[in-house]
Structure 1
Amino acid sequence: MSTIRKVVLAYSGGLDTSVILKWLQEHYHCEVVTFTADLGQGEELAPARAKAGLMGVKEVYIDDLREEFVRDFVFPMFRANTLYEGEYLLGTSIARPLIAKRLVEIATEVGADAVAHGATGKGNDQVRFELGVLALQPSLRVIAPWREWDLSSRETLLAYADRHGIPVDRQGKKSPYSMDANLLHISYEGGVLEDPWAEPEESMWRWSVAPEQAPDAPQSIELDFERGDLVAIDGQPYSPAAALAYLNQIGGAHGVGRADIVENRYVGMKSRGCYETPGGTILLKAHRALESLTLDREEAHLKDELMPRYASLIYNGYWWSPERRMLQAAIDATQERVNGRVRLRLYKGNVTVAGRQSPDSLFDARIATFEDDAGAYNQADAAGFIRLNGLRLAIGARRNGSG
């Protein structure tokens, strides 16, 4: 323990990381630098700076990473139309590699020996943080207090805080859920959700209204894309972070983006979680609609085959791996002509495509029409196409005695 001189702690200012801060000072006798990332979680971060200062921290980093988060992590992921196990839009997973990256950068800047995080030994986040550090700066030591100390519950954390004079807010009503929020989503775990049969309480949801309480009139919006990334909404240019924030607002107002999932954690257990991802749900629908116009059939189908592997890499913490970078290069190569506009209709929890257009469209109305195509497509060609593609089926049938 004496070999650790300085550690950078991923710090929220809440009970867990406040106890961790003091525990690091007490058990490692080291200087602690705190890092708090603003990823659009919607919380006031100034109290974290004040609280760290009260606990003797001299170097406090509070970084606004919202634009970098959406531009360099969320948007690349959405170019792949990424869903984990068919449902999860990976709102927590995609934030972790950015936090790991910034932890490493700050550790290098201040000359720290180690970084520390507050992820528990049961979850995926410990894997994501630590794989990120190993990929970016393997010489750094990673300290995970939940795997070392004997504090195993909220009650023991509160008792530790009382013994050491750590300021803890006991006035507000604590949520029964473990929550994580950023510009892409807000997640809920624990409490009644630990029973997969129990329905979430309506009061749990923070960003969206219940679909049955959403407006009775639909809302239409138009999204413009350049090279697979959202650049404008209803003709108005937006930065990546501002665009996602706006989609969250209007999507939540129409009850869009709720999900209730039992997922397979990388560490081996099943976990039930609820998620609100209104902006991401809209973005995914629009991006796929535009790709339906602009991608070659086999290109699109191969992307869909690669997507589950890509999703698992992100979920399991391998954002910085060579295989994720390789897949990203292939995915990004498909996005050169994913340009154009998609019109969507939002109504009571649903996102419906109402139109799409692109200067790079592969849709040819002269060929696809049910009317006279003026010779653009020779229907007689289909006979030979069918015979050749069915040849192996006919040979097999004869071998099996069917004619």
Structure 2
Amino acid sequence: MASKVNRVVLAFSGGLDTSVILKWLQQTYDCEVVTFTADLGQGEELEPARQKALLMGVKPEHIFIDDLRDEFVRDYVFPMMRANAVYEGQYLLGTSIARPLIAKRQIEIARQVGADTVAHGATGKGNDQVRFELGYYALAPDIKVIAPWREWDLTSRTRLIEFAEQHQIPIPRDKRGEAPFSTDANLLHTSSEGKVLEDPWEEVPDYVYSRTVNPEDAPDTPEYITIDFEHGDPVGVNGEALGPAALLEKLNDYGRTHGIGRLDLVENRFVGMKSRGMYETPGGTILHLAHRGIEQLTLDRGATRLKDEMMPHYAALVYNGFWFSPEREMLQAGIDHSQKNVTGTVRMKLYKGSAWVVGRKADVKFNLYSTDIVTFEDDMGAYDQRDAEGFIKLNALRLRLLGRRDR
């Protein structure tokens, strides 16, 4: 148990776990609890969290419910998308990228209300405990942290419900049953794991999916959309200028309709174990592919290859919780520098679970693609094909020397 706590800021959803945590903190540490609920576009009504906190004795001025959707997309999702970050070849990091913003705002609130401690509801088996706490310590090195799942003896849902009933914590009847799986959601994605999903041989049941229609039931006619980019960030869809959150919401709608962005993955957690999860990232999947599409026209070959080499390191830093580390910031500076000319428009084709780049264009001042040079027709002297002979011979020199030696 931590030392004496004066006031603690709790990341609070109002659900069973964090409601029990709130009461447990009040009892165990005899401290004042401040609740913080982040709206990251998870699609849930957040006002009940306020009412639950009031009912449990939290002062009105100590209940924070913050709309962070635009900040989340602008300052976290978009920088990550500029890097084309993908963890272990498939995962678009939807849960991982939300944690540093939650940690940042918790620390800001702690300073605002004079709290000496923060608390979260992440378990001792998962990645989120690491992500939250690395964020806390990076931003407030001397902050105290309480992680109840690493301290208490409430080791099952039954025990949590018993505790809630004992302390008159209201739980809706439809929430008392054993949940078939665990979910986390924000504007970028929804993740599901545990229980029915724990056997990696079994196919994900249809009822697990919440953000996308079954691709088999998606429209039989493809849909085409355009996405406009400026300096690596998307700024409009179908010619309509949109803010960060509104743009991602728009792409989510398209992805939902066409069943895009489903992923069944067995991943390597930072804490050492493997876990099986199901992810839905509809708008993010479209955006990731579109960004690579506009880079094809506007990013130099050497810069592209260097970015691709940097990307796995960047993705691992995000996944493991090192958003506020100097190495992530160093990588980000290089990535952002590469994006100064990544401006143009991409046309996407959406159809039954898939998204393809089918067209891209950029103004001449950004475009590195030249039809005059690449054409198979008469290029009017733009490219002297005889130059290729010396180029080939120089590149072949070491191979020829090796060949002579080995022969």
Partner of 1:12: 13
* Preserved CA contact (<8 Å) 2:157 2:178: no
Partner of 1:372: 378
Deviation at 1:115, TM superposition (A): 0.1
Which residue identity is paired with 2:204? P
Match of 2:97 among 87, 94, 98: 94
- Output aligned runs, 1:334-353, within 5 Å: 334-353=338-357
Give the 3-state SS of the residue equivalent to 1:371 in structure 2.
coil
Partner of 2:161: 158
Task: Measure, in 2, the Cα distance between the counterparts of 1:258 and 1:156.
Answer: 34
Partner of 2:25: 24
Partner of 1:234: 238
Q: Deviations over 1:99-151 (max 9, x none)?
A: 00000000000000100000000000000000001100011101000000011
When normalised by structure 2's length, the TM-score is 0.97
Deviation at 1:2, TM superposition (A): 6.0
Deviation at 1:398, TM superposition (A): 1.3
Task: Measure, in 1, the Cα distance between the counterparts of 2:179 and 2:23.
Answer: 24
1:176 correspondence with 2:184: no
Which residue identity is paired with 1:114? T
* Preserved CA contact (<8 Å) 1:96 1:128: yes
Task: Measure, in 1, the Cα distance between the counterparts of 2:88 and 2:136.
Answer: 26
Unaligned segments of structure 2, at least 5 residues: none
Q: Deviations over 1:338-393 (max 9, x none)?
A: 00000011000111111100111100101000011111111111111011001111
Partner of 1:190: 194
* Preserved CA contact (<8 Å) 1:293 1:361: yes
* Preserved CA contact (<8 Å) 1:181 1:187: yes
Partner of 1:394: 400
Which residue identity is paired with 2:107? V
Greater displacement, 171-180 / 233-242? 171-180
The RMSD of aligned alpha carbons is 0.9
Which residue identity is paired with 2:188? L
Task: Measure, in 2, the Cα distance between the counterparts of 1:247 and 1:153.
Answer: 38
Which residue identity is paired with 2:32? E
Task: Measure, in 2, the Cα distance between the counterparts of 1:75 and 1:175.
Answer: 33
- Output aligned runs, 1:4-403, within 5 Å: 4-58=5-59, 59-172=62-175, 175-359=179-363, 360-401=366-407
Task: Measure, in 1, the Cα distance between the counterparts of 2:346 and 2:374.
Answer: 20
Give the 3-state SS of the residue equivalent to 2:173 in structure 1.
coil
Deviation at 1:183, TM superposition (A): 0.2
Which residue identity is paired with 1:388? L
Task: Measure, in 1, the Cα distance between the counterparts of 2:172 and 2:206.
Answer: 25
Task: Measure, in 1, the Cα distance between the counterparts of 2:197 and 2:401.
Answer: 55
Deviation at 1:3, TM superposition (A): 1.9
* Preserved CA contact (<8 Å) 2:235 2:243: yes
Task: Measure, in 2, the Cα distance between the counterparts of 1:220 and 1:266.
Answer: 39
Task: Measure, in 1, the Cα distance between the counterparts of 2:279 and 2:375.
Answer: 42
* Preserved CA contact (<8 Å) 1:2 1:29: no
Which residue identity is paired with 1:98? L
Deviation at 1:397, TM superposition (A): 1.2
Greater than 3 Å deviation, 4+ residue runs:
172-175
Q: Deviations over 1:242-295 (max 9, x none)?
A: 000111111110010000000000000000000000000000010000000000
Unaligned segments of structure 1, at least 5 residues: none
Count of residue pairs the alignment pairs up:
401
Which residue identity is paired with 1:62? I
